[in-house]
Amino acid sequence: MAANTITGDFNINAEVDVESIEASARKARMQGIKRLVRYTLLKLVALVFTVAVGVYITIVVANMGGAVDKIRLGTIRESVALAATADPAFKTMNSEQRVAYINSRVDLEIKRYGLDRPFLVRSFEYLWDGMTLNFGFSQQLVSDSGSRLVRNILLERLPSTLLLFGSANLILFFVALFAGLSLSRRYGSMADKVVLALAPTSAAPAWFYGLFLILIFAAMLKVLPFGGMVSAPPPDNPVDYLLSLLNHMILPMAAWLISAIFLTAYNWRTFFLIYSSEDYVEMAKAKGLSDRMIERRYILRPTLPNIITSFALLLITLWTGAIIFETVFNWPGIGQLYYRAIGAFDTPVIVANVVLYAYLLALTVFVLDFVYALVDPRVRVGDGGRK
């Protein structure tokens, strides 16, 4: 082979400065980490700020920019006056004493509710309370542990929601990814056409398919539970508990998958096809790489950022269906709680739930942004430009 011959001044065995390679690698790694950290922090600040602005706007709107204070003042005055008439001592007072008595009680109430301070100041206190899910006590609902603290009610149900949607979305992501890849490998095939034909099924929400799945597998075939998270009473043995949990997760996850998989797989298959026609894929072929390597390094890797963006958008829309979805499957998560809170007009729980959903949405975006930065070096640079 020609590899051993030396012509001109190129020496195949020339000494290479390993030291400087390593130095350059170190430098590049440090720079990469620095960029990643900076990018992540910026994203985090931006997202927290976004949630804060959203919550603050809700507060201002709900208080009609402070106009609600007038209504509350009126209500306080009325209830104080009503309470005073029931007081036997009140009957013996003359009119001046009565006015002074009522005014002092009203002032006390105003202080108690903090209405003596300007709305602007209080709005930021509300914001802090809202952001920390500090909504005081619920009006109707009680947590399973017996607490009436809104925060406890919510946080108790958060893990089951995260468990269901986390695993369902993870499975959705990987199934769609591999389905998309394999469809792009043989586009125009029968499987490709079938997926295209089924893509419109994603127009219906997951709970819609859930109803049918429950009907078929729980009511008719009686092989899977109707809903809930574990069988009642919950098994004591952790292994049995886990098996029961998995058994209860099959139908909701299947419904979630069916509702999104066809459109997503078709969508991503198109991404892969677009990126398969890039020049560097042709170059990789010319380089004599195996098909698997080309697919992994030259098609999957460069397409991944787009896939993640598309997935983030998908999740944002899917979150909105979570409320009915959990109710249909009787899943003890925050969606079901939200549904119940609306039914019971439990305002603190409803508002706190909205804030929690805002957090979940922000968290979803944040995680996907972080992954995006990991897979796409162009994002980390920030200015996107050349050096």
Partner 1 sequence: MEQKNELVLKVRNLRLYFNTRGGPVQAVDGVDFDLRKNEATVIIGESGCGKSSLAKAILRLLPRNAGIYDGEIWLHDQNIMTLDKEAYRKEIRWKRISMVPQAAMNALNPVMKIGDQVAEPAMIHMNMNNEEATKAAVRMLEHVGVPIDFLHRYSFELSGGMRQRSALAMALVTLPDVVILDEPTSALDVLTQASIMNLMKRMKHELETAFILITHDIATSSELADNVAVMYAGQVVEVGDARRFFTQPLHPYSHALMASVPRLREVVEPEFISGQPPSLLNPPTGCRFKDRCPKRFDKCDEEPPTILYDVDRKVKCWLYV
7 binds partner 1 (CB under 8 A): yes
- Of residues 17-46, those binding partner 1 (CB under 8 A): 17-18, 20-21, 24-25, 27-29
The piece of 85-93, 156-164, 246-254, 282-290 that touches partner 1 (CB under 8 A) is 282-290
Please write down the HEC assignment for all residues of 155-184. Answer: HHHHHHHHHHHHHHHHHHHHHHHHHHHHHH
Please write down the HEC assignment for all residues of 178-233. Answer: HHHHHHHHCCCCHHHHHHHHHHHHHHCCHHHHHHHHHHHHHHHCCCCCCCCCCCCC
| Residue 298 contacts residue 281 (beta carbons within 8 Å) | yes
- The nearest distance, CB 30 to partner 1, in angstroms, is 11
- The nearest distance, CB 314 to partner 1, in angstroms, is 22
The piece of 3-11, 140-148, 249-257, 316-324 that touches partner 1 (CB under 8 A) is 3-11
Q: How many residues bind partner 1 (CB under 8 A)?
A: 45
Q: Which residues pair with 177 in a beta bridge?
A: none
DSSP string spanning 335-356?
HHHHHHHHHTT-HHHHHHHHHH
Burial 347-381 (b: 16+ CB within 10 A, else e): bbbbbbbebbbbbbbbebbbebbeebbbebeebbe
The piece of 157-165, 238-246, 335-343, 378-386 that touches partner 1 (CB under 8 A) is 378-386
Tokens of 25: 């690698």
Q: Which is nearer to partner 1, 88 or 384 (CB)?
A: 384
- Residue corresponding to tokens 């468990």: 163
Among 69, 107, 156, 278, binds partner 1 (CB under 8 A): 278
279 binds partner 1 (CB under 8 A): yes
- Of residues 103-142, those binding partner 1 (CB under 8 A): none
The piece of 297-305, 319-327, 336-344, 356-364 that touches partner 1 (CB under 8 A) is 297-305
288 binds partner 1 (CB under 8 A): yes
280 binds partner 1 (CB under 8 A): yes
| Residue 52 contacts residue 129 (beta carbons within 8 Å) | no
Among 78, 301, 317, 320, binds partner 1 (CB under 8 A): 301
Q: Which is nearer to partner 1, 10 or 222 (CB)?
A: 10
285 binds partner 1 (CB under 8 A): yes
C-beta atoms surrounding 173 within 10 Å:
18
Among 298, 325, 329, 331, binds partner 1 (CB under 8 A): 298
Among 59, 260, 284, 351, binds partner 1 (CB under 8 A): 284
14 binds partner 1 (CB under 8 A): yes
Tokens of 135: 């909504």
DSSP 376: -
274 binds partner 1 (CB under 8 A): no
Q: Which is nearer to partner 1, 131 or 375 (CB)?
A: 375
CA–CA distance, 284 with 202 (Å, rounded to integer):
35
- Residue corresponding to tokens 């072929």: 285
